[in-house]
Structure 1
């Protein structure tokens, strides 16, 4: 057993109270939990330390090679570049695919803004690649109930935002024959099996455990304390009888940012006791704010974020005014010392959205040598984002109310396993 596997075994065998330490600040001052992400370092979160704290496994070359061998196609650049850097039980999912056994994908969105920003797109881009590659069903949870419980939103407004966000998600190109999108506020009352699984999870986790995992205090209302069971329930195939025909043995793979991992550590702890397979996970790093990698992009501050609805002019203005630069104070100094790609936000964004590996490598070399100035690097990013978001906006225009209704109607899905 590898050292990483030993850590995983210890974590999976640890009590939920023992696992709560993963939410605390580490010695570098990093804070990572479902509601707050920050770092004292300009280069952002130390992800190697985070893997150790959370007890997950690093996505290494061996795993990437196996993905390519199993699927017969190159891995997504998010995987090649370490944007998705950590996993739980991905090897088991690959084995199931090799053995032609079914599994499904599950991801989600907490709708708190009118439109998605670039950081929100990351898990959906990865999920679409996984769906296209493995040809499996996908469920997407819109946690409008969560946003009502945590934000200053009415139920009606949270539900409206869920439907607006769903249109942005559909515009990522998901196949309606393979994809079910649901709002918690709309769906849970329609599906007794989903609610049954929520209740099973709720009875399996104590109040002390939930406080330890999520840091809830005595003054937090009971809605927050009960909510983690809602996010756990889509991990179980029996929550969707119209897709899986009542089967409870179909596992899922969850692509998500690593700040969501506490929900699924809890889920993985209770799943065997309920007779369900543990969900597998793919963890992404955080998409940094324009102001630097110390925090992730926020939907509540438009100056930290680029939204999928931004115009070409808005994109250009935000990048030029707010994108933190790794350049030097003067042109002469920059030519002599070169720029710092590790802190430069324009370069960091290009690692997400510029698919050409050779071009990205050349930009890095030219910027690091001082040949490429910050203004030219920002222009490169602006061109990439303007093109990408123009295409997203065109697809969004094609999403009608009937399209939305199709994706959000409970129904059988058609894939190689279903």
Structure 2
């Protein structure tokens, strides 16, 4: 079911055509490490990236933008570095192959002591400072931007192939699609560090339901699947398509109750998170060093 949630792309057909013609390509993704633990929404792009790497047998580069989080969050450089390594362990636990995967952090790979000093200065320079010092205007060019879209637009201007971009659907917070998962609200998401007891409590208490106010009304009108968070989560993580279709039909027609859907979700998420925790426990500091070692990757250009 995960595949159906990656719904659009930019120039993916170009890469596929080149691949069929025998040309090489590599995968690139990343994360901004601003929290101790990943939640399920963070795992989805890495699960999909692993599928793509396994399907095409291509190298993968994963960037951890710890420098960006230093600039955006109230964190020290040392803490950003630590969070990057902790997040790397969760990423490695998704099952990536060290032989074909390079993980790097900006502060270690791009940086060094001089770069860290640059960031300490940059964090304390505002737009008004720049305007006063250099006389810049809103139309002036800038030398930084962390987003793929700008890379997509600029790459041809400097002689490179446009990267292909793949986009996924929004993964909602437990409280519904109008809310956002936030590290400041641990009840807004299921984290990969949560116990089965915590998962059960969060789903039962906070997962927004599309069910009706009473059993009688629910039996009569059925559930609103468009707003039901437990069903949306099952769309992402329940691997049995036939079972998912059955749940949708029964729930929509009122024969299955909200509590039953939540119980199935609790079972699915508890197993998923427990499996991740077992894999995470096997990731050592030496494994992180191996993934971050600068080295040639198989089938890479050059």
Q: When the two structures are superposed, what TM-score results if normalisation uses the length of structure 1?
A: 0.64
Structure 1 contact 113–300 (Cα < 8 Å) conserved: no
Structure 1 position 416, deviation (Å): 8.5
Gaps of 5+ in 2: 116-125, 132-141
Is 1:375 aligned to 2:259, yes or no?
yes
Aligned to 1:179: 101
Q: Is the 8 A contact 2:25 2:300 kept in 1?
A: no
The aligned residue for residue 160 of structure 2 is: 276
Q: Counterparts of 2:95 and 2:151 in 1: how far apart (Å)?
A: 29
Q: Which residue does the alignment assign to 1:147?
A: 69
Deviation per CA, 1:261-287: give whole Å up to 9, x if none: xx2221122111211111110001121
Q: Cα 1:218–1:131, aligned 2, differ >3 Å: closer, same or farther?
A: same
Aligned 8 A contact 1:96 1:102 in 2: yes
SS in 2 for 1:177: helix
Aligned 8 A contact 1:136 1:417 in 2: no
1:307 alignment partner in structure 2: 191
Q: How far apart, in 1, do the equivalents of 2:232 and 2:104 lie?
A: 32
Do the aligned residues in 2 keep the contact of 1:111 with 1:162 (CA within 8 Å)? yes
In the aligned structure 1, how far is the partner of 2:180 from the partner of 2:299? 35
1:364 matches 2:269? no
Residue equivalent to 2:222: 338
1:218 offset after TM fit, Å? 4.0
What is the distance in 1 between the residues matched to 2:213 and 2:75? 44
Contact 1:308–1:392 at 8 Å: present in 2 too?
Answer: yes
Distance 2:20 2:129 in 1: 46
Residues in 2 aligned to 1:384 and 1:221: alpha-carbon distance in whole angstroms: 51
Q: Give secondary structure in 2 for the equivalent of 1:289.
A: coil
How far has the Cα of 1:300 moved from its partner?
Answer: 2.9
CA distance 1:156–1:329, shift in 2 (3 Å): same
Q: For residue 78 of structure 1, what is the aligned residue in structure 2? A: 2
* CA displacement, residues 207-226 of structure 1 (integer Å, 9 cap, x when unaligned): xxxxxxxxxx945989xx65
Q: Which residue in 1 is equivalent to 2:277?
A: 393
Alpha-carbon separation, structure 1, partners of 2:78 and 2:277: 26
Distance of 2:2 and 2:236 partners within structure 1 = 7
1:136 aligned residue:
58
Q: Which moved more, 1:348-357 or 1:91-100?
A: 91-100
Deviations 1:185-219 (A, max 9, x none): 000037xxxx9xxxxxxxxxxxxxxxxxxxxx945
CA gap 1:293/1:220 in 2 versus in 1, 3 angstroms: farther
Q: Secondary structure at the match of 1:390?
A: helix
CA RMSD of aligned residues (A): 1.9
Flag structure 1 segments of 5+ consecutive residues without an equivalent: 1-76, 196-216, 232-262
* 1:165 maps to 2:48: no
C-alpha separation between the residues in 1 aligned to 2:17 and 2:173? 37
State the partner residue of 1:109.
Answer: 31
The residue that corresponds to 2:139 in the other structure is none
1:172-251 aligned at under 5 Å gives the runs: 172-189=94-111, 218=127, 226-228=143-145, 231=146
* Greater RCO, 1 or 2 (C-alpha within 8 Å, sep 6+): 2
